[in-house]
Structure 1
Amino acid sequence: MKDKNELNHLLKINFPIIMAPMFLVSNLEMMKAGIRAGIMSTFPSLNYRKDGELEKVLDELNAYCKLHSGSYGVNIIVQKSNPLSLKHTKICLEKQVPFFITSLGNPKDVIDGAHAYGGKVFCDVTNLVHAKKCVDVNCDGFIAVGQGAGGHAGPNPLQVLIPALKEIFPNTPIVAAGGITNGAGLLSVQVLGASGASIGTRFIASTEAGVNDNYKNAVVSSGMDDIVMTTKLSGTPCAVINNDAAKKMGYTQNWLEKWLSSNQQTKKWFKMLVQIRGMKKLEKSVLPNNYQSLWTAGKSSELVHDIISCEEIVNRIKQEHEKILKELSHLI
């Protein structure tokens, strides 16, 4: 598969899966497990906010990649409301991170910096307008974020978003994100025109994930109808498990919050405040021995039934993918 799949070739991996970057969930052990399994492991730079933390993790991952067939990348929120965007970008470029995913802003500086040493940059897109802006600054690919994704999900179904992107931007690789957790899901988005899939929620229920067991078990026990969208957490629609904590927080911003988020003089600082508050709420919820329960997850929790290692998850997806391909060949 390595020689045939453009994502494998472009990102120097051997199976077309990206372990999606998940705030406060993605950790070093998950990254190493994904690298050993031959996929692209990614994490949000905001998981490492203390001085020296990010540099240490990048040094360790750069050394680890030399020994295994997978690779790693960093997700950077390039929106102005992220106070660490410029600092983290500078650190990652200095350490020559091989792969970036950018979210919620202008990715030009990240793209230009990564291309200077051969790094690749895929941009989160939820519609064709976002995609056009990213192509204009020479992105290497799209993360097509559709309905059902965990965290900041998109409004459009992948069945429409992927073919539309493929039709208008035929030379730009697409990775599908949203509702994918198994080999059938991976194959389905490949049929639509994607080169691979970004998978997040399935990896929350992994032995390596550093979140508390209550969170992992909630992913296993939640169905698709237990996932709701809220703008109260970060100002952008975000998918969470609809438990008592989510109901107490609420799902939509009030009129004053909406005004502060859109006013030219206040939106940058208010969005920054909302995001900082949201990060603190989530941080309380994921730590071991903590009984807070505000948890992000996608609708693919419906298909997550056990807690296993990251390598077992990847191997299971590979086996399912291969099995379905053989079954389909008999139908043709």
Structure 2
Amino acid sequence: MSKLPLIVAPMFLVSTPEMVIEAGKADVIGSFPLLNARPVEECAKWLKQVKENLPDTPWAVNFICHRKSNKRYEEDLKLIEQYQPPIVITSLGNPSEAIDIVHDYGGLVYSDVATVNHAKKATQTGVDGLILVCAGAGGHGGTLNPFSFIRAVKQFYDGAIILSGGMSTGADIAAAKLMGADYAYMGTRFLAAEESNAQEEYKQMVIDTTINDIIYTNAFSGIHANILIPSLLKQGIDPKTLKSREDVDLSHLVNVKAWRDIWSAGHGVTTVEKRETMKEIIDQLTKEYELGVSSFV
């Protein structure tokens, strides 16, 4: 069996230690945002749980580098230093401090980027890999075409490339490899997983919706994100009335109450048709990937 070159993306308020552990058991890289576990003592328990269950398997955490947004910035850095996750995925800020800590214990740092200029800045900090957030990604998605984005980045960077945006099948993963990516980065496909912390109604909405039910807007945080239109309608919000936000407000990273019922998904949502376990999803992706790779030979 071919090893599946996949990172299960860290999903805000959704990813759990159980998802990471089950991904690791299936020989792919799982991840969770550190801010999913609150308070910091709970986060320490999550890290301990994953580390004990996956002592020899790569796994990852997502660390928000934006000091003003992440009120736990210093505490999260200390957790990283203490529990030494093999991979740290950095978002929304300068990853330099995290890089120093992670490299000191031999770990890797991958930074997510949505533009070529952002990618160039990240490479200057010494990251080990770039997560190219392309059009169709769940959460804070980008706008660039993946073919063009990979080609542009490879002109100045020879580190690991992780491709994100709209992928939901094993064939997509095979295509990402053919394009030059080292890993595919997939979140939406796992939203309705049994081990996911998404609300039951959220999981059902993901199953019931398609790409036509997604709106790309910066109305909520000032950073564009792909949002499920039915979740807005459920809250009495008319998508037609949404206005562009001029300032960047990432307070939802701390005060999550308002975001518990505004739900995100990527363009790959159409593929999610039923409730499955992490193992079942990864087994299916692996079969599709092997079939896709064999078709390229």
Matches within 5 A, 1:172-183: 172-183=159-170
Structure 1 residue 306 displacement after superposition:
1.8
Could you tell me which amino acid in structure 2 is paired with residue 241 of structure 1? L
Unaligned runs of 5+ in 2: none
User: Given the superposition, is the C-alpha separation of residues 194 and 51 from structure 1 closer, same or farther in structure 2, using an over 3 Å criterion?
Assistant: closer
Structure 1 residue 15 displacement after superposition:
2.8
Structure 1 residue 247 displacement after superposition:
6.5
What count of residue pairs does the alignment treat as equivalent? 293
Alpha-carbon contact 1:235-1:275 (below 8 Å) kept: no
Query: Secondary structure at 2:12's aligned position in 1?
Result: coil
TM-score, normalised by the number of residues in structure 1: 0.83
TM-score, normalised by the number of residues in structure 2: 0.92
Where does residue 281 of structure 1 map in the other structure? 258
Distance 1:78 1:37 in 2: 30
1:217 paired to 2:204 = yes
Where does residue 74 of structure 1 map in the other structure? 61
Alpha-carbon contact 1:83-1:272 (below 8 Å) kept: no
Distance 2:236 2:154 in 1: 38
Alpha-carbon contact 2:64-2:73 (below 8 Å) kept: yes
When the two chains are superposed, the root-mean-square deviation of aligned CA atoms in Å is 2.0
1:166 paired to 2:154 = yes
Where does residue 41 of structure 2 map in the other structure? 52
Unaligned runs of 5+ in 1: 3-13, 262-266, 286-293
Deviation by residue 1:219-255 (Cα, 9 ceiling, x = unmatched): 112111211122233331111101204771757556x
Distance 1:253 1:95 in 2: 42
Matches within 5 A, 1:93-242: 93-169=81-157, 171-242=158-229
Deviates most, 127-136 or 139-148 = 127-136
Alpha-carbon contact 2:71-2:254 (below 8 Å) kept: no
Matches within 5 A, 1:256-271: 258=246, 261=247, 271=249
Aligned counterpart in structure 2 of residue 29 of structure 1, from 18, 32, 56: 18
Distance 1:172 1:24 in 2: 30
1:43 paired to 2:32 = yes
Distance 1:180 1:122 in 2: 19
Work out which of the two has the higher radius of gyration on C-alpha atoms and give 1 or 2.
Answer: 1
Where does residue 308 of structure 1 map in the other structure? 276
Deviates most, 232-241 or 41-50 = 232-241
Alpha-carbon contact 2:252-2:259 (below 8 Å) kept: no
Distance 2:251 2:193 in 1: 31
Deviation by residue 1:144-170 (Cα, 9 ceiling, x = unmatched): 10000000001111121112112221x
1:322 paired to 2:279 = no
